[in-house]
């Protein structure tokens, strides 16, 4: 499978962290590594962001055989949001279309599903979209300081290049990162995001690093085989500790959370988009982690 190109779209409200805090903003920025976030306006939602990102890579082309949308903040439960995106993009009717409810691990989940589809004769070109507007759930300031609304669109095509995957799922501990109320109890306007920082830190430091090390060991590659590592952009404190525990050279880790904040399933494709030329002909390891609790990792060689 080949990653052909990636388009991005950000919420139009650019918010400086220092403007959200009356004091101690420097300490918060130092801890999180995030200096600004992007939130959607009242006229924006995941469908409009996804459509905008997709148009950047499609350029009026409609020869897409499958659309996969990764989102945890759908505008509609019925129908799947991807069908409305298909309408907006005027994609042909003979197309496989569906949504996947996944968070920070979602992009790699999407790559895994896409690779399976591309192994069939009928599917040659896939549009993989990530889109979330967590700002609708970010009622508390400590959460509002972290998350941005965004969408990415990736064109995937057939290739002899095979990805190596590894997944971990821990539903027993889902409560540590979840919406406060279920959808039957409260409306979205009354809901909020619950996040246990200490639990997530320990999960990231131990489970995430263990899975990456297992992926590397099983596929017999070492730090020397890797050109770059693309981690989910959680925060400065989490990612730096993962980097230190993995003992991979720091200059191999690409980051952008200072500029974009945590964009959930869009963090890894955002990194790819920002560094596309740099990644050509390079061997990279990608790892997403968070809501679930889940971890997904894969090895990919750019061609």
Name the pLDDT band for 136 (thresholds 50, 70, 90): confident
Mean pLDDT of the chain: 91
Q: What is the mean pLDDT of residues 54-69?
A: 92
Residue 23 DSSP one-character state: S
Q: What token pair was written down for 236? A: 């400065």
What pLDDT was estimated at residue 81? 97
Q: What pLDDT digit, counting tens, does each position of 253-299 carry?
A: 999 999 999 999 999 999 999 999 999 999 999 999 998 899 999 99
What pLDDT was estimated at residue 64? 96
Q: What is the mean pLDDT of residues 5-25?
A: 89
**Global confidence as pTM:** 0.93
The top-level CATH class assigned to 164-301 is: alpha beta
What pLDDT was estimated at residue 141? 65
Q: What is the rounded end-to-end Cα distance, in angstroms, of the chain? A: 10
Residue 170 reports pLDDT greater than 90:
no
Residue 15 and residue 37 in contact, taking contact as beta carbons nearer than 8 Å:
yes
Residue 183 reports pLDDT greater than 90:
no
Q: What pLDDT digit, counting tens, does each position of 30-55 carry?
A: 888 898 999 999 999 999 999 999 99
Pick one of 3.40.47.10, 3.40.50.150, 3.40.50.300, 3.40.50.620 as the CATH number of 2-157.
3.40.47.10
Q: What pLDDT digit, counting tens, does each position of 120-134 carry?
A: 999 999 999 999 998
CA dist 274 → 9, 14, 142, 152, 236 (Å): 12, 18, 27, 12, 18
Domain with CATH 3.40.47.10 in the chain: 2-157, 164-301
What pLDDT was estimated at residue 139? 66
Residue 73 DSSP one-character state: S
d(CA 186, CA 203): 29
Q: What is the mean pLDDT of residues 154-169?
A: 93
């Amino acid at each position: 499978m080949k990653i052909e190109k990636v388009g991005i779209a950000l919420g139009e409200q650019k918010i400086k962290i220092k403007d959200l805090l009356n004091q101690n903003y420097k300490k918060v920025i130092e801890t999180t590594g995030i200096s600004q976030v992007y939130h959607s306006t009242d006229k924006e939602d995941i469908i409009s962001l996804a459509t905008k990102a997709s148009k950047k890579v499609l350029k009026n082309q409609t020869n897409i055989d499958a659309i996969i949308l990764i989102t945890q903040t759908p505008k509609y439960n019925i129908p799947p949001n991807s069908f409305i995106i298909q309408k907006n993009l005027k994609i042909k009717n003979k197309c496989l279309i569906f949504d996947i409810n996944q968070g920070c691990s979602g992009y790699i989940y999407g790559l895994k599903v896409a690779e399976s589809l591309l192994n069939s004769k009928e599917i040659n070109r896939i549009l993989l979209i990530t889109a979330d507007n967590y700002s609708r759930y970010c009622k508390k300031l400590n959460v509002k300081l972290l998350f941005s609304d965004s969408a990415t669109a990736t064109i995937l095509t057939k290739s002899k290049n095979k990805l190596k995957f590894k997944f971990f799922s821990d539903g027993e501990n889902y409560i540590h990162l979840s919406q406060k109320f279920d959808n039957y109890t409260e409306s979205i306007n009354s809901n909020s995001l619950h996040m246990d920082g200490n639990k997530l830190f320990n999960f990231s430091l131990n489970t995430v690093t263990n899975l990456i090390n297992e992926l590397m060991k099983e596929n017999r590659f070492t730090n020397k085989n890797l050109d770059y590592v693309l981690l989910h952009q959680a925060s400065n404190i989490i990612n730096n500790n993962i980097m230190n525990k993995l003992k991979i050279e720091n200059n191999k880790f690409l980051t952008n959370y200072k500029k974009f904040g945590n964009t959930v399933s869009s963090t890894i494709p955002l990194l790819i988009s920002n560094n596309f030329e740099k990644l050509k002909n390079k061997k990279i390891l990608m790892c997403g982690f968070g809501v679930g609790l889940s971890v997904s990792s894969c090895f990919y060689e750019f061609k």
